[in-house]
């Protein structure tokens, strides 16, 4: 049966999610930071992790942004195919939600209207909006504010298939090593393998939403995730680049079938302020 919805119903929900995501780092992330604190061997790394945890707790308690860079708002909307929309264009309602959330929440507006003329739009719109059609009659919304420092250090390449798993791991390691402390570690490493250039980058972004500690169900990807995590933590970059064993909290690889001639790989890095909040309506 069709469910009728007015697009304006998403505005308030998105506004609240923008604020919640920027104010409250999720428990899964805080637990991972606390575990890293107990295991970190470097005194500088340990002190830095302690500061990051205290900062996150203070932001949540005071309901203020946990980082000044409240990012590009990435809005992912899984829309049940049984929904029939009325009202303003959905994308306009999504922008209105982001505008409201960033305004009400005193969140920094970081979007420029044109990458070359650099004039700030003043309300953090447009956001990056990913609608997906799924079975059912619900709308599942995730807001993921993505900070510039970590986003800037992502990379994409299309390898020749002959380089195989070793080539993929080498590209991931080079990307993380080059990024160094500029991504505000400890990071989460999101990897897309396969698809086309656009699909691959999207897989890498979505990989960042998987809970820390959860492995890819396919054994060889799970094994690669564990191997890469260990190698990355052997780099010694450490929390905020201060040195130490905690450079990454996890590595998440997502894959998709691809063309016989190609082996696309995208790496999307996420800083310790890994913010995302979700709701279902
Ligand atoms: S990379 Fe993350 S923690 Fe660092 S300034 Fe940007 S949003 Fe903040």
> What DSSP line would sit under 167-226, residue for residue?
HHHHHHHHHHHHHGGGG-SSEEEEEEEES-HHHHHHHHHHHTTSPTTPPPSSHHHHHHHH
Q: Is 155 helix (H, G, I), strand (E, B) or coil?
A: strand
CA of 170 to the centre of ligand 1 (A): 25
What is the residue with the minimal CA distance to atom 4 of ligand 1? 184
Choice from 67, 73, 153, 241 to test ligand 1 binding pocket (greatest atom count within 8 A of CB): 67
DSSP string, 91-113: HHHHHHHHHHHHHHTTPPP--BS
CA of 7 to the centre of ligand 1 (A): 32
Could you give the CA distance from residue 169 to residue 225 in angstroms, rounded to a whole number? 10
Say if CB 69 and CB 125 are below 8 A apart: no
Contacts of 274 (CB under 8 A, 6+ apart): 25, 26, 29, 188, 208
Could you give the CA distance from residue 161 to residue 199 in angstroms, rounded to a whole number? 17
**Residue 266 token pair:** 């995208």
Ligand 1: residues whose CB is within 6 Å? Answer: 67, 69, 71, 147-150, 183-184, 271, 273
Could you give the CA distance from residue 13 to residue 17 in angstroms, rounded to a whole number? 6
Could you give the CA distance from residue 277 to residue 11 in angstroms, rounded to a whole number? 15
Q: Which atom of ligand 1 is nearest to the CA of 71?
A: 7
* Other C-beta atoms lying within 10 Å of the C-beta of residue 133: 10
Per-residue pLDDT in tens (0 to 9) along the chain, 281 residues: 799 999 999 999 999 999 999 999 999 999 999 999 999 999 999 999 999 999 999 999 999 999 999 999 999 999 999 999 999 999 999 999 999 999 999 999 999 999 999 999 999 999 999 999 999 999 999 999 999 999 999 999 999 999 999 999 999 999 999 999 999 999 999 999 999 999 999 999 999 999 999 999 999 999 999 999 999 999 999 999 999 999 999 999 999 999 999 999 999 999 999 999 999 99
Domain ranges (residues) in the chain? 3-21+66-146, 149-274
DSSP state of 120: B
Pairing label, strands 263-270, 277-280: unpaired
Burial (CB count within 10 angstroms: exposed 0-12, middle 13-18, buried 19+), residue 90: middle
Phi-psi region of 79 (alpha: psi -120 to 50; beta: other; left: phi over 0): beta
Q: Which atom of ligand 1 is nearest to the CA of 70?
A: 7
Predicted pLDDT of residue 162 = 97
**DSSP element (H, E) containing 17:** helix 9-23
Q: Which atom of ligand 1 is nearest to the CA of 149?
A: 1
Q: Which atom of ligand 1 is nearest to the CA of 271?
A: 2
Choice from 52, 186, 269, 273 to test ligand 1 binding pocket (greatest atom count within 8 A of CB): 273
Choice from 66, 149, 240, 269 to test ligand 1 binding pocket (greatest atom count within 8 A of CB): 149
Q: Is 262 helix (H, G, I), strand (E, B) or coil?
A: coil
Say if CB 123 and CB 109 are below 8 A apart: yes
**Residue 186 token pair:** 């400890």
CA of 137 to the centre of ligand 1 (A): 36
Phi, psi of 31 (to 5 degrees): -60, -40
């Amino acid at each position: 049966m069709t469910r009728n919805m007015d697009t304006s119903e998403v505005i308030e929900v998105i506004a609240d999610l923008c604020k919640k995501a920027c104010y409250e780092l999720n428990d899964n992330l805080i637990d991972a930071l606390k575990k890293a604190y107990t295991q970190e061997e470097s005194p500088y790394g340990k002190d830095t992790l302690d500061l990051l945890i205290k900062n996150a707790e203070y932001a949540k308690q005071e309901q203020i942004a946990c980082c000044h860079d409240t990012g590009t708002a990435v809005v992912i909307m899984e829309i049940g195919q049984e929904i029939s929309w009325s009202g303003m264009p959905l994308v306009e309602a999504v922008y209105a939600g982001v505008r409201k959330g960033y305004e009400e929440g005193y969140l920094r507006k970081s979007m420029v209207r044109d990458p070359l003329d650099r004039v700030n739009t003043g309300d953090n719109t447009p956001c990056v909006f990913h609608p997906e059609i799924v079975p059912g009659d619900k709308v599942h919304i995730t807001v993921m504010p993505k900070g510039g420092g970590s986003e800037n250090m992502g990379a994409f390449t299309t390898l020749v298939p002959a380089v195989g798993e070793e080539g993929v791991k080498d590209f991931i390691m080079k990307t993380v090593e080059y990024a160094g402390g500029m991504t505000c570690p400890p990071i989460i490493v999101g990897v897309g393998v396969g698809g086309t250039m656009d699909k691959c980058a999207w897989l890498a972004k979505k990989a960042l939403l998987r809970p820390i500690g959860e492995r890819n169900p396919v054994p060889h990807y799970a094994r690669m995730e564990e191997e890469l995590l260990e190698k990355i933590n052997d780099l010694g970059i450490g929390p905020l680049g201060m040195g130490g064993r905690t450079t990454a909290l996890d590595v998440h690889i997502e894959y998709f079938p691809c063309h016989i001639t190609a082996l696309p790989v995208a790496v999307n890095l996420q800083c310790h302020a890994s913010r995302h909040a979700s709701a279902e309506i």
